Amino acid sequence: MSYAMAGLGQADDVSIETIPSRLGQIRRKDGWSYQLTPEDVLWLARSVQHESGNHAATAWTYAQLLAWRRGRSLMRTVMAHSQPVNPIWRRDGEKCQPGGPYHGRDECAERRLATRDRAATMPWSEIRPQIRQIVVDLATAKLPNPVPRAVNFANAPVTSRYLLRHPSSAVVLREGNWYITEGPTNSWPADFVTISLGEREAGPSAAGLVRAASTISFGTQVVGASLLVGAGAFAWWAYSKRKVRRNRRR
């Protein structure tokens, strides 16, 4: 991809007018690391601008998703997950093209296709300054992580159905989208994934540490709720039996 065509800058600074040429590394505590690239930054920004929810949480979730999968490209990880920039959801992609499973349905309505056309071709200069700042801060190890362990997100209805099928997942944050763990990431330390640049390292925010400490998997919540309901039912049954016995004695 040509930097000029993509609207990428190459200045060695952290100005949001250009994408810095000096970018950080995503790192796992077990030694795995990934060097961020300008293409990663551009595609992450395109996605974050068009995804709802907490922008910092979305950016960090993608960084952690890449780390969880030990992926080879943040750009490709974002494109595979984020519908606004996913090629298969474009007008010529397998989902929406004539004969595709969603062709003619709301998921592939013209307004959605036009949004995806813009999202996938948007130059850096047209991305909102707030989004550019968040993504540059992430890529230069200046953005604290508000959602430790989160490696997936979607809107509330989609996530609710997903949790029923994946009870080992846990909700880390509900803000527009729901940001969730997957079973293997539940055991990560809150700072298992960090971003480093030189001597600077970005890890969990104070709020993120609180969320990490209070995160409980959906399956555990269901089991806990079931135990409470069961205990309540047993207590009521036992009380009713005692009441029957007392009445019989009278």
d(CA 113, CA 214): 39
The dihedral sign for the CA sequence 167, 172, 175, 178 = negative
CA distances 143 to 5, 54, 136, 229, Å, are: 28, 13, 9, 42
In the prediction, which pLDDT does 219 show? 65
Cα-Cα-Cα-Cα torsion 100, 101, 104, 108, nearest 10 degrees, comes to: -90
In the prediction, which pLDDT does 229 show? 45
**Per-residue pLDDT tens digits of the chain, which is 250 residues long:** 322 223 333 333 446 789 999 999 999 999 999 999 999 999 999 999 999 999 999 999 999 999 999 999 999 999 999 999 999 999 999 999 999 999 999 999 999 999 999 999 999 999 999 999 999 999 999 999 999 999 999 999 999 999 999 999 999 999 999 999 999 999 999 999 999 999 999 999 999 999 999 988 876 654 444 444 454 544 454 555 555 455 555 5
- Residue 14's SS3 state is coil
In the prediction, which pLDDT does 205 show? 97
In the prediction, which pLDDT does 8 show? 38
In the prediction, which pLDDT does 166 show? 96
The dihedral sign for the CA sequence 179, 180, 186, 188 = negative
DSSP run (H or E) holding 171: strand 171-175
Q: Which residue has tokens 């036992």?
A: 238
